[in-house]
């Protein structure tokens, strides 16, 4: 496969799948990264010739480095990275335990940290610029009771975005984040009321914002944390 344009992590999730579909519809070719091999194979079957599937544990820095070394062997320019890997967990500080706390930080912050490190090194060295888009969350800015470890992790993703944007500014690599509130997914529909879900944002709408941030049309934007709250 030639002409791979970018990498999408968390590609098996509802938002990740929408991002892959949107980018492919715009003519991009994509490396779709998921933890399970079955998800990787499903992507390649769904988008023959447009998607390369890769399985990796993105919480493991060694596994991330090995993934990007495999991408290096294809000798293709990676123009953008979308960090859509992550996951939600509830709970308060006083009820928290070390395992749940570390899991949510690894799932939401570490995955973005290690993947951004690998991409930023290559984009900076290539001299061709590029784009990194992180998926944070509204609670990462505003807080709110009930999901403290998740909110802290997503808040750290916002700060990672801002600092990395400053670090890479002179290299022409742009770093931005989108901040969803409530996404219209089957999992959320099983939990939240119909009234609340009526205000949820479809993942396809968020995917279009992400695709724009990956594009050259977004060249003036870096270090931004963009709300995609819809009406919620």
Q: What is the DSSP letter of 107?
A: I
- Two tokens, residue 125: 């060295």
From 47, 101, 150, 229, active-site residue:
150
Pairing of strands 173-180, 130-135: parallel
Active site annotation includes 101: no
Gap between the Cα atoms of 204 and 179, Å rounded: 14
Per DSSP (E only), the strands in the chain are 6-9, 30-34, 51-55, 80-83, 130-135, 173-180, 225-228
Gap between the Cα atoms of 203 and 185, Å rounded: 8
Gap between the Cα atoms of 224 and 89, Å rounded: 25
Return the closest-CA partner of residue 131 out of 52, 206, 216.
Answer: 216
**C-alpha 29: how far from chain center:** 17
Return the closest-CA partner of residue 137 out of 208, 18, 228, 209.
Answer: 228
Number of H helices, E strands in the chain: 10, 7
Q: Where in the sequence numbering do the catalytic residues fall?
A: 150
């Amino acid at each position: 496969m030639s002409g791979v344009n970018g990498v999408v992590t968390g590609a098996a999730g509802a938002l990740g799948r929408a991002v892959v579909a949107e980018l492919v519809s715009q003519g991009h070719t994509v490396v779709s990264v998921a933890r399970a091999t079955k998800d990787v194979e499903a992507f390649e079957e769904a988008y023959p010739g447009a998607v390369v599937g890769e399985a990796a544990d993105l919480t493991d820095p060694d596994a991330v480095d090995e993934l990007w070394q495999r991408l290096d062997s294809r000798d293709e320019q990676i123009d953008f990275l979308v960090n859509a890997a992550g996951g939600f967990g509830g709970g308060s500080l006083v009820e928290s335990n070390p395992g749940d706390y570390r899991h949510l930080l690894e799932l939401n912050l570490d995955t973005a940290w290690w993947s951004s490190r690998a991409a930023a090194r290559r984009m900076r060295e290539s001299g061709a610029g590029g784009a990194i888009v992180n998926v944070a969350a509204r609670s990462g800015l505003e807080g709110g009771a009930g999901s403290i470890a998740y909110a802290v992790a997503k808040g750290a993703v916002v700060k990672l975005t801002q600092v990395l944007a400053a670090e890479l500014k002179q290299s022409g690599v742009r770093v931005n984040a989108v901040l969803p509130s409530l996404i219209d997914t089957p999992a959320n529909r099983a939990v939240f009321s119909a009234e609340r879900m009526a205000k949820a944002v479809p993942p396809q709408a968020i995917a279009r914002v992400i695709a724009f941030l990956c594009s050259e049309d977004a060249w003036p934007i870096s270090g931004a944390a963009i709300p995609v709250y819809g009406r919620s």
